[in-house]
A and B are shown apart, each in its own frame.
Chain A
Amino acid sequence: MATTGTEELSGIGSDEGASGDGVRRRDFIEIAAVSAAGVGALATLVPLVSQMAPSKDVLAESTTELDVSAIETGQAIKAVFRKQPVFVRNLTPAEIEAANAVDVGSLRDPQTLAERTKEGHENWLITMGVCTHLGCVPLGAAEGEPRGEFGGYFCPCHGSHYDTAARIRKGPAPLNLEVPEYTFTTDTTVVIG
């Protein structure tokens, strides 16, 4: 590049080709400036992307505390956890026995009842009420609803049957009903999430 009058005036054209290998000091400044601007531009993506993630108020509702003392043996309730239904079921001894009698190896999603409940609270089956097929709410938690061929839950959308451990036994769903994270803070209080 020919040295122009303006560059001479500003005094920055004088070191052109000074290093002898065709690299000017200005090349370094240009690359450094564009790189710094590029990093800055990338950094703006952080707020632009993360604003889409769940906001504080949504996260604040991400735990649910339940008093389960009123649920009789054999009964179940539907609660809301993260705007989705969760089934809390007080299993009868017969239901526990039926769930334990199944050969785990023969299941589509092999899990024992013990793996799906908390020690000392084996009669409490707490699962999401969201079918693992396409997200419908299965029937069987409320009084009088059909519980399917295996006595657990039945999804009317595409006919998935869950057993008394809410494991998938028949139909298109790929997995057992999800067991959310929960802890018994007292014998009758459950905190989900």
Chain B
Amino acid sequence: MSFPWAKNYEPVNPVMRFFDEKLPLPRFVYNAVGAGYPVPRNLSYLWNFGVLAGFCLVLQIVTGVILAMHYAANAGVAFNSVEHIMRDVNWGWLMRYAHANGASFFFVVIYIHIFRGFFYSSYKAPREMIWLIGVVIFLLMMATAFMGYVLPWGQMSFWGAKVITGLFGAIPFVGEPLQVWLLGGFAPDNAALNRFFSLHFLLPFVIAGAVILHIWALHIPGSSNPTGVEVKTESDTLPFHPYFTAKDGFGLGVFLIIYMAFVFFLPNYLGHPDNYIPANPLSTPAHIVPEWYFWPFYAILRAFTGDLTIPLLGIQIIPAKLLGVLAMFSAILVWFFLPWLDKSPVRSGHYRPLFRKFFWFGLIPTMLVLFWCGGAPAEEPYVMLSQLATAYYFAHFLIILPIISSIERPERLPSSITEAVLGTDKPATAAA
């Protein structure tokens, strides 16, 4: 693992030496996130977001376990127990706002992390496994966030649960029994609320396990970097500690300022006011929307308004509702195939003129349009825009990326990371 010049763990403190001999945990940490992990010296702030995501996971687990001490997962009292946390529990308001906004900020961080991966082709060999595990983590996060949003048992909780479990009802033949099985009833109720709570508590620990695999896989080839040129010599790297612990620490400070500004001054800005109305199975909110981080995928779901039929005969092959469900899941599943769809040998978007244009003027605006349409009511012009954006979204990954990688003429790459940083391949004496 890692590079031959990686520093070896040599405990000075006798207690640590004792510990390390019996159980080499200190050595493990030293090699994972300490001075024993050499990292490309040119990492930009975009490389902070893995550590920030890890921070968010810990934040969510800590605040979540505390909330679970005061919350009651029963359809009769769940809504009131959340208000009890807000009004009666010491610092309960802080824990809940930190948890609710923590989820939003977790997604902000993870989206930047994923799109960093898109731009710098972090999914390419030899890092495919890191990417695949990352997509699994994202899917687990979506499931966890969805079930967490059901727990306060407000109107959006209830109707969100109904719409999302209804997606499974669109599956042919087994759909309706499957939906009843998932809910433990014919509509979201106590059984569904309880199992969502149980799974919402469990899944973050499954995510933590997947994160360990993600980091393990990362440490085999080592971190990627903004040039996409692999590490060649020791002068291309710096030890993770203290150089990047310091850089990540600074990034964490900036993150906390923005996050805490929301927690303290705009705690409900990212939520929906209807979730402060207790769940009512007999009255639908005028406009059901998921949390903002699901909007792009919700737009893809709703973009399919017509059935897939055999032309002229009018025989229905796939109904519109199922098409939407398939498209929504495919929108994420397509990420699994990225390492094999984008065959360009050059990783970094900085040296890929054509790819760069399609990234900034194709993929990014498309995601913004989908995001905007997903939060808007299902009427024109949003439906038409969602359809166009959905078409581009899939075309980008399945058609445009493979074509670009075969016709594009990349710009000249620096011969090493050191050259990219210093303008010369000779290691500077001042460089650490």
Contacts and interface: CB of A to CB of B under 8 A. Distances in A.
A19 B234 CA distance: 63
B163 interface: yes
A78 interface: yes
A157 B286 contact: yes
B132 interface: no
B378 A54 contact: no
Interface in A47-64: 52-55, 58, 62
Nearest to A158: B378
A174 B320 contact: yes
Contacts of A158: 377-379
A96 interface: no
Contacts, number: 70
B378 A172 contact: yes
- The main secondary structure of chain A at its interface with chain B is loop
A82 B195 CA distance: 19
B288 A52 contact: no
B379 A159 contact: yes
Interface size class of A (residues with CB under 8 A): 20 to 34
A174 B379 contact: no
B185 interface: yes
Contacts of A85: 281-282
Interface string A132-172: 01111100000000000000000011110000000000001
A133 B166 CA distance: 10
B343 interface: no
Interface string A76-93: 001010111100000000
B346 to A, nearest CB: 44
A54 B163 contact: no
A83 B181 CA distance: 15
- The main secondary structure of chain B at its interface with chain A is loop
B163 A135 contact: yes
A52 B185 CA distance: 9
Nearest to B280: A137
Interface in A115-136: 129, 133-136
A53 B184 CA distance: 5
Contacts of B162: 135
A54 B288 contact: no
A54 B282 contact: no
B354 interface: no
B284 interface: yes
B181 A52 contact: yes
Nearest to B190: A58
A106 to B, nearest CB: 13
B191 to A, nearest CB: 6
Given A52-B181, A54-B184, A157-B287, A78 B191 contact: no
Interface of A: 52-55, 58, 62, 78, 80, 82-85, 129, 133-137, 156-159, 172, 174
Given A52-B195, A134-B288, 4 more contacts: A53-B180, A54-B184, A85-B281, A157-B288
17 contacts: A52-B184, A53-B181, A54-B186, A54-B191, A55-B184, A82-B185, A83-B186, A83-B187, A85-B282, A129-B282, A134-B288, A135-B166, A135-B284, A136-B284, A156-B284, A158-B378, A174-B307
